[in-house]
Amino acid sequence: MITQILIGDGSSLAVVGAETLLKQRADTVLTSAENGDDLLRLAGVSQPDVILLGDRFDPLFETIALVERLIQAAPAGRIIVMGNTTDGLIIRDLFTMGMCGYLALGDDLSTCLLTAVDTVLREHPYLSPTANAEYLIAMQSASRDWKLDAEARAVLRLLARGCTVREIAAQMRLKRRRVYWVTEKMRSRFGATTNEHLISRAAAEGFMRLPE
C-alpha cells in the first residue's frame, strides 16, 4: 500500500534532507509545498497520509493556525510538526488540536524521522526524545491549565510600558511572585526566552494593541 507524505518546510535543504531519508521507505510518494497556501491546496487535493510541517514554514501563517487548517483540508492526514519549540505546553496545545507527532530539531532526526512516520501511521502519537521530556515536564507542572486571561494581558501591557515587576505588582495589587509566575507562563505561551522576546512575539501576534 502506498503512503503519501506531504512536506512543508521553510528550508529547501531541510526538504531535500527529509526527502532523502524518507526515500528509504518502500512504497512512499513524496510531495513538497512552496508555501502555506500551496501546502493547504496540496493537502486538499492529494489527501496525504502524513504531513510533515516545519515550524514557521511560512511567515504568513502561524504554526498552530496552519495545523488547524490542515486538519480541515485533510482530515485523515497525520500531522508531524518539526520545530525548535521544546515547550511542553505548546506541544500539548498542538496535540489537542490534532497533531500526531512532534520532532525537536535539536534531536537526531536522521534516526527519528522514519520511526515518527511509521508510528503515526499506526495511529500512535510520536515525540522525539527532547520533545517527549519537555511534554512530560509540562504535564506534571501546575501551569498545565494556564490560559492567557485578563490578568496576564494586563501584566503584558504593563511590561510593554516599561514597568518593573515591583511596579506591576503594586499597580495590580498582586504579589511579586505572582507577577513572575504569570510572566513565565506567558513566555511559555509565546515560546519566548526573555521578556523582550515575549513583547516582540506578542506584538507580532497582535496582542500589544488590544484595548484595555
Q: What are the residues binding other proteins (CB under 8 A)?
A: 9-21, 82, 105-110, 113, 159-164, 192-200, 203-204, 208
Write down the least CB distance from residue 123 to other proteins, Å: 25
Q: Which is nearer to other proteins, 124 or 161 (CB)?
A: 161
Distance of CA 208 to the CA centre of its chain: 21
Write down the least CB distance from residue 205 to other proteins, Å: 11
Cβ-based neighbours of 43, under 8 Å, separated by 6 or more = 6, 51, 70, 73, 74, 77
Q: Which is nearer to other proteins, 72 or 111 (CB)?
A: 111
What is the C-alpha to C-alpha distance for residues 26 and 114, in angstroms, rounded to an integer?
11
Nine cell digits for residue 144: 498545565
Write down the least CB distance from residue 45 to other proteins, Å: 25
- The DSSP H or E segment spanning 90 is helix 88-97
Return the residue matching grid coordinates 519549540: 85
Q: Which is nearer to other proteins, 71 or 160 (CB)?
A: 160
Q: Which is nearer to other proteins, 72 or 193 (CB)?
A: 193
Q: Which is nearer to other proteins, 10 or 75 (CB)?
A: 10
Report DSSP state, residue 145: G
Residue in 64, 107, 65 with CA at minimum distance from that of residue 84: 107
Residue 191: strand, helix, or coil = coil
Write down the least CB distance from residue 163 to other proteins, Å: 7
Residue in 7, 3, 10, 27 with CA at minimum distance from that of residue 19: 7
Write down the least CB distance from residue 75 to other proteins, Å: 27
